[in-house]
Amino acid sequence: MESELYEAAVKGNVRSLLELLKKDQLLLDRVMIGNHTETPLQIAAMLLHLDFVKEILAQKAEMASVQDSQGLTLLHLAAAKGYLNTVKSLVRAYSYICFFCDKYKRNSFHVAAMKGHMNVLENLVGARPNAAHSVIEHG
């Protein structure tokens, strides 16, 4: 069933997602603790399937908090790419993610600023202004 979930994420098929969750209410929980390099949420977000992203966040908002081996969250990735709508959806569903730092102690604010995505940075500051005070590894 997990492979079907990943296929739905690649296609952005919300209907398939909902059907899978009807069959197995714990599917997203298993994926969160499983041994996958990316979650369906990450895949859908990077492919800009915003409706799919919103539905997963509605079902399991804490999936946004998953960090990879570098400490990166989906918010880091969306901020780096300048995906404003994805950033808005993530922050709306799980705003505490703004405080998550990667292995270099950079949060999504730092990443957005480094990449020059000012619209993303403004949105993040508006959502969680205190996270802007985080200091990176070398000051």
Rounded Cα distance between 69 and 118, Å, is 27
User: At which of 60, 90, 105 does a domain end?
Assistant: 60
The stretch 8-19 carries a mean pLDDT of 97
Q: What is the DSSP string of 9-57?
A: HHHT-HHHHHHHHHH-TTHHHHHHHSS-SS-HHHHHHHTT-HHHHHHHH
19 and 54 share one domain:
yes
16 and 79 share one domain:
no
Share of the chain above pLDDT 70, in %: 96
Question: Higher model confidence: residue 137 or residue 37?
Answer: 37
Nearest to 39 by CA among 78, 10, 59, 14: 10
Q: List the CATH number of the domain containing 84.
A: 1.25.40.20
Per-residue confidence at 75, pLDDT binned at 50, 70, 90?
A: very high
For residue 115, give both structure tokens: 């990449």
49 and 77 share one domain:
no
11 and 54 share one domain:
yes
47 and 84 share one domain:
no
5 and 56 share one domain:
yes
126 and 72 share one domain:
yes
> What pLDDT, on a 0 to 100 scale, did the predictor assign at position 79?
95
82 and 129 share one domain:
yes
Give the number of domains in the chain: 2
Per-residue confidence at 67, pLDDT binned at 50, 70, 90?
A: confident
56 and 88 share one domain:
no
User: At which of 35, 60, 85 does a domain end?
Assistant: 60
76 and 139 share one domain:
yes
Domain of residue 93: give its range: 67-139
> What pLDDT, on a 0 to 100 scale, did the predictor assign at position 33?
84
Question: Is the alpha carbon torsion for 26, 28, 32, 35 positive or negative?
Answer: positive
For residue 4, give both structure tokens: 């079907």
The stretch 78-99 carries a mean pLDDT of 92
> What pLDDT, on a 0 to 100 scale, did the predictor assign at position 68?
83
The answer to whether the CB of 12 falls within 8 A of the CB of 49 is yes
92 and 138 share one domain:
yes
18 and 81 share one domain:
no
**Apex CA 69: angle with CA 57 and CA 20, to 5°?**
35
